[in-house]
């Protein structure tokens, strides 16, 4: 993984000192609330309902065991002993004291971490596939480019005050596991028949109040031009994006207003002046960054060793966990393990300090000291020998990490909602919990199969409800919390925005509503169909009829 050199370390330290001084001036009354707000947001600090919230950047979801132990230590020392992993692959602390934040940042800097640009109207943490570098279907490892983008976007002097937040995702695989179609910029690695590597550039996707699937503005951008082209897109957005209405300020609104063709032409016009300039990546530049992401010292192993297959045969629960919570690996004899943070009764994405320490230990013991945060809010151990899976499973089970529900109904993507967030219209965690409690029968869950249920407590869509196969959105109706349901959203290559099925529901109705939706699926599915396929085939009407039927 990437390691800081002296300059990276210095820049982060200087940012800590700058923020320390900003905090000091705010507390001394030299900066007003309005002046401090944009400055603290650019460093991930919110003032929340109960306490400040600090969002720590986990660049493209990559953590070392040392970094994860530091996150655990901070949770113990400055917070209430837990943290929340987010859909941007970051970590949030819900209870730090404002006065402690500079010190927390200083501790993070010791392990090459920071909170730079984790909020505010600037370029946010770049995200990618949690299985980058190990996925069996990878075209090119996206991580060197993620790091190049991280550095380019960090404290970029021209783009610190954009019209609105700006999110970039990179996918290096055939299958898009980075939700690139719903980002401000999505980059898909493309390899031509001649072997040339570049990016398909998607712009103007996004969730929030006006969900949209992005538009392709360039089918093939040679990798050398990545940064000059990003500069061109951002400059067009910075100059022409709306600033009069924050709900219309995202780049998607600009692309829509200008049309894809006109926006793309404007970017090209800008790019002519920047193309081939000093920010052009030479082969040696890319090699420098790629040198941090080489394969670890894999052993030469046979796939499916006898001891592993024997355990699979004799232990049904283990087999189920392997089926749901592990993924194929490019290296024979290894698998990637998803540690589920979706245990019933625990807010989705939350992990305690002890759990973080345990995961760090397993990363050292069973892997190469690396952990990934997935945008589905789980943790991933990328490289585990198949022969070690049984031992790891037993440890994970004991620590509450082995719920075999990855990709199933109860693997809910969920924002912190009204329990913590001052923007939320409604609580989300209790709804997730009620659904997890209702559907606690694993045989039923496995029968339902692959399904994505995403929930947000407000229009800002941190829980990505629009791209959930089932989406739940908390809404406020004259001071009461209600929940709107969408069906048919999806991430990935055939990304789509879910459709609202009708009037919203009270919280207590939600488990019943989900049950009725699932019953339509069970009654009408063909043998091969996943839930999403059925929704796409039959449309939302049959679901709507069953859910809103009177006294059936």
Partner 1 sequence: MQNIIKDGAVLAADAWQLVRPDAEGQLSVPDAGDVIVPLSAWLAEPERWASRDGRVAVWLASGDEPAELAASLGKLELVAVDFHAFTDGRGYSIGRLLRERYGFAGELRAIGDVWEDHLHYLWQVGFNAFEIKDGKAVEGALAALGSFTDRYQATYREPQPLFRRHRS
- Give the 3-state secondary structure of residue 121: coil
- Give the 3-state secondary structure of residue 337: strand
What are the Cα distances from residue 17, in Å, to 11, 24, 25?
A: 10, 10, 12
Q: Report if residue 161 touches partner 1, rule: CB under 8 A.
A: yes
CA separation for the pair 470, 456 (Å, rounded): 12
Q: Contact letters (x/-) for partner 1, 214-243, by CB under 8 A?
A: -------------x-------x--xx---x
Q: Contact letters (x/-) for partner 1, 240-259, by CB under 8 A?
A: ---x----------------
Which residue's CB is nearer to partner 1, number 30 or number 295? 30
Q: Which region, judged by CB under 8 A, interacts with partner 1, from 8-16, 87-95, 255-263, 395-403?
A: 8-16
Q: Report if residue 495 touches partner 1, rule: CB under 8 A.
A: no
Least distance in angstroms from the C-beta of 405 to partner 1 = 40
Q: How far is CA 94 from the centre of its chain?
A: 18
Q: Which region, judged by CB under 8 A, interacts with partner 1, from 31-39, 73-81, 212-220, 294-302?
A: 31-39
Q: Report if residue 156 touches partner 1, rule: CB under 8 A.
A: yes
Q: Contact letters (x/-) for partner 1, 110-139, by CB under 8 A?
A: -----------x------------------
Q: Report if residue 509 touches partner 1, rule: CB under 8 A.
A: no
| Number of chain positions touching partner 1 (CB under 8 A) | 42
Pairing of strands 215-222, 197-203: antiparallel
Q: Report if residue 195 touches partner 1, rule: CB under 8 A.
A: no
Which residue's CB is nearer to partner 1, number 18 or number 48? 18
Whose CA is closest to 277, among 220, 225, 199?
225
The residue from 130, 148, 185, 249 that contacts partner 1 (CB under 8 A) is: 148
- The continuous run of DSSP H or E covering 317 comes out as helix 316-325
Which residue's CB is nearer to partner 1, number 138 or number 147? 147
Contacts (Cβ under 8 Å, ≥6 apart) of 414: 347, 348, 349, 377, 428, 429, 432, 454, 455, 456, 463
Least distance in angstroms from the C-beta of 151 to partner 1 = 4
Q: Report if residue 39 touches partner 1, rule: CB under 8 A.
A: yes
CA separation for the pair 382, 513 (Å, rounded): 36
Whose CA is closest to 380, among 323, 341, 333?
341
Which residue's CB is nearer to partner 1, number 243 or number 507? 243
Least distance in angstroms from the C-beta of 16 to partner 1 = 11
Structure token digits, residue 181: 């179609």
Question: CA neighbours within 13 Å on the CB side: how many for 234?
Answer: 26
CA separation for the pair 518, 531 (Å, rounded): 8
The residue from 24, 191, 273, 477 that contacts partner 1 (CB under 8 A) is: 273
Q: Which region, judged by CB under 8 A, interacts with partner 1, from 35-43, 73-81, 89-97, 345-353?
A: 35-43
The residue from 4, 18, 210, 390 that contacts partner 1 (CB under 8 A) is: 18
Whose CA is closest to 338, among 328, 330, 347?
328
CA separation for the pair 346, 402 (Å, rounded): 13
Which residue's CB is nearer to partner 1, number 26 or number 82? 26
The residue from 110, 261, 276, 287 that contacts partner 1 (CB under 8 A) is: 287
The residue from 90, 154, 336, 496 that contacts partner 1 (CB under 8 A) is: 154
Long-range contacts of 18-27 (CB under 8 A, 24+ apart): 19/43, 19/101, 19/102, 19/105, 20/102, 20/105, 20/106, 23/98, 23/99, 23/101, 23/102, 27/98, 27/99
Say if residues 341 and 377 touch (Cβ distance below 8 Å). yes
Least distance in angstroms from the C-beta of 145 to partner 1 = 12
Dihedral angle over CA of 57, 380, 404, 474, nearest 10: 20
Q: Contact letters (x/-) for partner 1, 288-327, by CB under 8 A?
A: xx--------------------------------------
CA separation for the pair 2, 143 (Å, rounded): 9
- Where do contacts with partner 1 occur on this chain (CB under 8 A)? 5, 7, 10-11, 14-15, 17-18, 22, 30, 35, 38-39, 121, 148, 151-152, 154-162, 227, 235, 238-239, 243, 273, 277-279, 281-282, 284-285, 287-289
């Amino acid at each position: 993984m990437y390691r800081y050199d002296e300059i990276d370390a210095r820049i982060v330290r200087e940012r800590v000192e700058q923020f320390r001084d900003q905090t000091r001036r705010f507390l001394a009354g030299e900066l007003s609330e309005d002046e401090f707000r944009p400055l603290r947001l650019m460093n991930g600090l919110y003032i929340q309902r109960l306490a400040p919230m600090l969002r720590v950047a986990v660049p493209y979801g990559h953590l070392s065991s040392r970094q994860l132990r530091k996150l655990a230590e901070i949770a113990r020392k400055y917070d209430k002993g837990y943290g929340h992993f987010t859909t941007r692959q970051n970590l949030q602390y819900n209870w730090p004291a404002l006065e402690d934040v500079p010190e927390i940042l200083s501790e993070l800097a010791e392990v090459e971490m920071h909170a730079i640009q984790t909020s505010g109207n600037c370029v946010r943490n770049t995200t990618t596939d949690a299985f980058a570098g190990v996925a069996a279907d990878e075209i090119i490892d996206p991580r060197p480019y993620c790091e190049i983008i991280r550095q380019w976007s960090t404290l970029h002097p021209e783009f610190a005050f954009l019209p609105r937040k700006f999110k970039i995702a990179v996918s290096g695989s055939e299958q898009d596991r980075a939700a690139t179609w719903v980002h401000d910029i999505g980059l898909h690695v493309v390899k031509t028949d001649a072997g040339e590597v570049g990016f398909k550039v998607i712009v103007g996707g996004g969730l929030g109040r006006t969900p949209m699937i992005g538009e392709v503005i360039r089918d093939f951008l040679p990798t050398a031009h990545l940064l000059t082209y990003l500069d061109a897109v951002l400059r067009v957005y910075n100059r022409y994006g709306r600033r009069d209405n924050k709900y219309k300020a995202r780049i998607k609104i600009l692309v829509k207003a200008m049309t894809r063709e006109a926006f793309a032409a404007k970017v090209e016009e800008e790019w002519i002046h920047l193309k081939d300039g000093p920010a052009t990546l030479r082969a040696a530049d890319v090699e420098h960054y790629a040198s941090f992401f080489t394969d670890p010292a894999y052993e030469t192993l046979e796939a499916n060793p006898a001891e592993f297959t024997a355990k699979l045969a004799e232990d049904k629960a283990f087999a189920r966990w392997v089926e749901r919570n592990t993924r194929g690996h490019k290296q024979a004899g290894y698998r990637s393990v998803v540690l589920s943070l979706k245990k019933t009764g625990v807010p989705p994405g939350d992990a305690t300090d002890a759990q973080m320490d345990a995961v760090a230990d397993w990363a050292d013991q069973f892997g190469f000291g690396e952990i990934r945060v997935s945008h589905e809010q789980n943790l991933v151990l990328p490289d585990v020998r198949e022969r070690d899976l049984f031992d790891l499973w037993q440890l994970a089970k004991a620590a509450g990490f082995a719920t075999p529900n990855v990709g199933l109904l109860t693997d809910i993507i969920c924002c912190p909602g009204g329990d913590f967030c001052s923007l939320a219209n409604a609580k989300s965690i209790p709804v997730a919990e009620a659904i997890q409690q209702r559907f606690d029968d694993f045989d039923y869950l496995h029968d339902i199969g692959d399904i994505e249920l995403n929930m947000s407590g407000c229009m800002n869509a941190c829980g990505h409800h629009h791209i959930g196969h089932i989406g739940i959105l908390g809404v406020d109706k004259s001071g009461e919390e209600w929940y709107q349901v969408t069906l048919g959203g999806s991430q990935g290559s055939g990304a789509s925005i879910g459709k609202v099925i009708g009037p919203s529901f009270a919280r207590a109705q939600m488990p019943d509503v989900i049950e009725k939706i699932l019953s339509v699926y069970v009654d009408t599915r063909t043998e091969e169909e996943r839930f999403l396929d059925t929704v796409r085939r039959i449309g939302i009407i049959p679901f709507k009829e069953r859910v809103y039927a009177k006294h059936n």
